[in-house]
Amino acid sequence: MNELNIMEAAAFTSPNPLALICSQNEDGTTNLAPICFVSYLSFDPPMVGFSAGKQSHTGRRVRETGKVILTVPGESLAGAVMACGSSTGASVHKAAEYHVEMKAVEGSDILIPADTKLAMVAALEQTVETGDHILHICRVEKFLGDAGKKGLFAWNGFGKAAPAAEG
Ligand SMILES: Cc1cc2nc3c(=O)[nH]c(=O)nc-3n(C[C@H](O)[C@H](O)[C@H](O)COP(=O)(O)O)c2cc1C
């Protein structure tokens, strides 16, 4: 075996789970950021976690508002997902800039992309500093899914968003 760094290891675990994290900007619009550091954490109550870099606008807004929707983006969003990963909601209104059609979710002020396979409406419960990231531990209030859509995963580590082949 060869010794690897963490980026090379992430390529070995591809396709990696990919969430498009939806959070609320100060002006009420929704910010979008792809995050691969995401996992289920508990069945009962249903809990999920995601880890965001300390400078991340998404992390800051989720800590300020206590609210987030974690989504699995549909395949039409492959290009937009990568674009959302190379700009920050601190200065760019990503949904408008990258022409992502958004839709409302009942009971939430945060919008989600119209092409969404799974949405997890969640509330922040706890944060844990994890090296250069902050782990956000969230309780899921509602899961919404569309079985007819193909979800995106991250390939080649975090380098490309594409569906996973079955089998
Ligand atoms: C496929 C992919 C996966 C990513 N995964 C993470 C991640 O797990 N954690 C993280 O902090 N940033 C991750 N990023 C980078 C953020 O999406 C990027 O820093 C983005 O600009 C953050 O936007 P924000 O400042 O609006 O939150 C990823 C980017 C891509 C393209």
Has residue 111 been placed in a domain?
A: yes
Task: Look at the block and give the residue holding tokens 């609320």.
Answer: 24
pLDDT tier, 166 (very low <50, low <70, confident <90, very high otherwise): low
Has residue 63 been placed in a domain?
A: yes
Q: What tens digit of pLDDT does each residue of 19-44 get? A: 999 999 999 999 999 999 999 999 99
Has residue 166 been placed in a domain?
A: no
Q: Which atom of ligand 1 is nearest to the CA of 37?
A: 8
Has residue 155 been placed in a domain?
A: no
* CATH number where 68 lies: 2.30.110.10
Q: What tens digit of pLDDT does each residue of 124-150 get? A: 999 999 999 999 999 999 999 999 999
**35 CA from centroid of ligand 1 (Å):** 5
Residue 167's pLDDT is what?
A: 47
Residue 71's pLDDT is what?
A: 98
Q: What tens digit of pLDDT does each residue of 92-115 get? A: 999 999 999 999 999 999 999 999
Q: How many domains does the chain have?
A: 1
Q: Which atom of ligand 1 is nearest to the CA of 55?
A: 25
Nearest CA to ligand 1 atom 19: 85
Residue 94's pLDDT is what?
A: 98
Query: In one letter, which amino acid is 44?
Result: D
Q: Check pLDDT > 60 for residue 1.
A: yes
Residue 110's pLDDT is what?
A: 98
Mean pLDDT, residues 119-124 taken together: 98
**66 CA from centroid of ligand 1 (Å):** 19
Residue 105's pLDDT is what?
A: 98
Has residue 131 been placed in a domain?
A: yes
Secondary structure element (H or E) that encloses residue 82, with its range? helix 78-84
Q: Check pLDDT > 70 for residue 47.
A: yes
Residue 103's pLDDT is what?
A: 98
**22 CA from centroid of ligand 1 (Å):** 12
**95 CA from centroid of ligand 1 (Å):** 15
163: Cβ contacts below 8 Å, ≥ 6 apart = 75, 150, 151, 152, 153
Has residue 62 been placed in a domain?
A: yes
Mean pLDDT, residues 109-122 taken together: 98
Structure tokens, 7: 């980026």
Task: Classify the C-alpha dihedral 123-126-131-132 as positive or negative.
Answer: positive
Residue 80 domain boundaries: 12-147
Residue 165's pLDDT is what?
A: 75
Residues contacting ligand 1 via CB (< 6 Å): 18, 31, 33-37, 51-53, 56-58, 82, 85, 87-90, 133, 154, 158, 161
Mean pLDDT, residues 60-82 taken together: 98
**55 CA from centroid of ligand 1 (Å):** 10
pLDDT tier, 123 (very low <50, low <70, confident <90, very high otherwise): very high
Has residue 3 been placed in a domain?
A: no
Has residue 2 been placed in a domain?
A: no
